[in-house]
């Protein structure tokens, strides 16, 4: 088969790769219905933390079970399934506490930008839909695999509750779905920080009530202006840079919550500043598996349409263009069809 492989900065190739096989008796092999490019794929693509050797790309997936190992009991060939980018047993104490992405047996699921994918710990990782979903549901179901699950975690970790004022730092797909999630959780006011018109529109469609285009200290000042000098009850940091983290902490009210779900690159917190900010901080790799059943349900019942973040769909063999379009911010998120 062929799949996406990153060879170096801005060099993604669609090339021959070994077909995945069942390695352990708890594995499943999935035939991909759709996959996509993640904002976090752009870090290695842009040359941050470069890999020593060519690396298969992609970690967001949904598709039909092709084959299962002999110990797998909860899914079977022919079922449509979705899983998270971290395989988890969903039974250890960490999983039971709801942090499946830090499962004692967690394993990263990589190489999803391909027609076939091996998923370890299939019983704990994969969630099957009640039947085969219609084609038009696929983008939104794919979104639950990471980007919607991560946006949902951002809102959950920031303790969003009905009536709250929420600020979202970052207008990538995760930030936009953070706004959608906050809306579903009953936030009254949702301030999206974005300077990109198409993304502002989608943010509003997803539930944002206000848009702030300023960044950094000016952005913080705008949030304070909009909240009578108090700051937001909950702030979702969906980028992962020093500036975005500072902006998020600065935008929260005393005693408020800041979640952070963007993979941090060069973020350093200063003790005194943190001390006097008086905020709750909670984040990390989203335990998407905790939310999958609920999010799949919301999608299948037509309550949400997170697939709208895919504003570019390409055949998998044009994966290089999919990365370029996101890198140049011509696309919010690229869906890839094998």
| Contacts with Zn ion, residue ranges (CB under 5 A) | 38, 88-89, 92, 95, 103, 146
Shortest distance (Å) from residue 217 CB to Zn ion: 30
Query: Using CA atoms, how far apart are residues 263 and 260, in angstroms rounded to an integer?
Result: 8
- Give whichever of 146 and 233 is closer to Zn ion, judged by the CB atom: 146
Query: Using CA atoms, how far apart are residues 128 and 79, in angstroms rounded to an integer?
Result: 6
- Give whichever of 232 and 286 is closer to Zn ion, judged by the CB atom: 286
DSSP 239: S
Shortest distance (Å) from residue 331 CB to Zn ion: 15
- DSSP3 helix / strand / coil % (the chain, rounded to 5): 35, 25, 40
Alpha-helical (H) ranges within the chain are 42-45, 93-96, 122-125, 138-144, 147-157, 173-184, 197-206, 216-226, 242-251, 271-277, 288-300, 319-327
Shortest distance (Å) from residue 262 CB to Zn ion: 11
Query: Using CA atoms, how far apart are residues 253 and 280, in angstroms rounded to an integer?
Result: 10
- Give whichever of 118 and 289 is closer to Zn ion, judged by the CB atom: 289
Query: Using CA atoms, how far apart are residues 195 and 143, in angstroms rounded to an integer?
Result: 23
Shortest distance (Å) from residue 71 CB to Zn ion: 16
- Give whichever of 89 and 233 is closer to Zn ion, judged by the CB atom: 89
Query: Using CA atoms, how far apart are residues 334 and 324, in angstroms rounded to an integer?
Result: 10
Shortest distance (Å) from residue 45 CB to Zn ion: 13
Shortest distance (Å) from residue 220 CB to Zn ion: 28
Do 241 and 174 touch, CB atoms closer than 8 A?
Answer: no
CA angle 118, 120, 145 (to 5 degrees): 75
Shortest distance (Å) from residue 106 CB to Zn ion: 7
Shortest distance (Å) from residue 89 CB to Zn ion: 4
- Give whichever of 150 and 165 is closer to Zn ion, judged by the CB atom: 150
By DSSP bridging, strand 252-260 and strand 232-237 are parallel
Residues in a beta bridge with 315: 337
- Give whichever of 112 and 212 is closer to Zn ion, judged by the CB atom: 112
- Give whichever of 146 and 156 is closer to Zn ion, judged by the CB atom: 146
**328 Cβ neighbours under 8 A, 6+ residues apart:** none
Residues in a beta bridge with 67: 29
Shortest distance (Å) from residue 91 CB to Zn ion: 6
**258 Cβ neighbours under 8 A, 6+ residues apart:** 158, 234, 235, 237, 248, 249, 252, 279, 280, 281, 282, 283
- Give whichever of 142 and 298 is closer to Zn ion, judged by the CB atom: 142
CB-neighbour burial class of residue 66 (10 A; exposed 0-12, middle 13-18, buried 19+): middle
């Amino acid at each position: 088969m062929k799949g996406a492989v990153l060879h170096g900065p801005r060099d993604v190739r669609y090339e021959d790769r070994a077909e995945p096989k069942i390695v352990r008796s708890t594995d499943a092999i999935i035939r991909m219905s759709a996959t996509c490019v993640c904002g976090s794929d752009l870090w290695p693509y842009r040359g941050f933390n470069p890999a020593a050797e060519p690396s298969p790309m992609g970690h967001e997936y949904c598709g039909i079970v092709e084959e299962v190992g002999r110990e797998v009991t909860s899914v079977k060939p022919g079922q449509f399934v979705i899983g998270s980018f971290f395989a988890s047993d969903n039974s250890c104490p960490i999983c039971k506490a709801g942090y499946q992405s830090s499962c004692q047996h967690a394993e990263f699921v990589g190489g999803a930008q391909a027609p076939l994918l091996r998923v370890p710990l299939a019983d704990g990782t994969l969630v099957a839909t009640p039947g085969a979903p219609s084609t038009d549901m696929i983008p939104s179901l794919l979104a639950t695999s990471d980007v919607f699950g991560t946006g949902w975690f951002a809102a959950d970790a920031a303790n969003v509750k009905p009536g709250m004022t929420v600020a979202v730092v970052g207008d990538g797909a995760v930030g936009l779905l953070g706004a959608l999630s906050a809306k579903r959780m009953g936030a009254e006011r949702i301030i999206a920080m974005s300077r990109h018109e198409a993304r502002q529109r989608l943010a509003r469609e997803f539930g944002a009530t206000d848009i702030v285009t300023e960044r950094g200290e000016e952005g913080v000042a705008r949030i304070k202006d909009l909240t009578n000098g108090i700051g937001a009850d909950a702030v979702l940091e969906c980028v992962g840079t020093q500036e975005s983290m500072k902006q998020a902490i600065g935008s929260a009210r005393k005693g408020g919550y800041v979640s952070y779900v963007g993979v941090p690159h060069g973020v350093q917190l200063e003790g005194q500043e943190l001390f006097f900010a008086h905020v709750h901080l909670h984040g990390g790799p989203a335990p998407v598996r905790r939310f999958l059943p609920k999010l799949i349900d919301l999608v299948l019942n037509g309550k949400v349409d997170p697939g709208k973040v895919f504003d570019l769909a390409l055949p998998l063999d044009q994966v290089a263009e999919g990365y370029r379009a996101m890198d140049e911010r011509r696309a919010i998120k690229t869906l890839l069809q094998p």
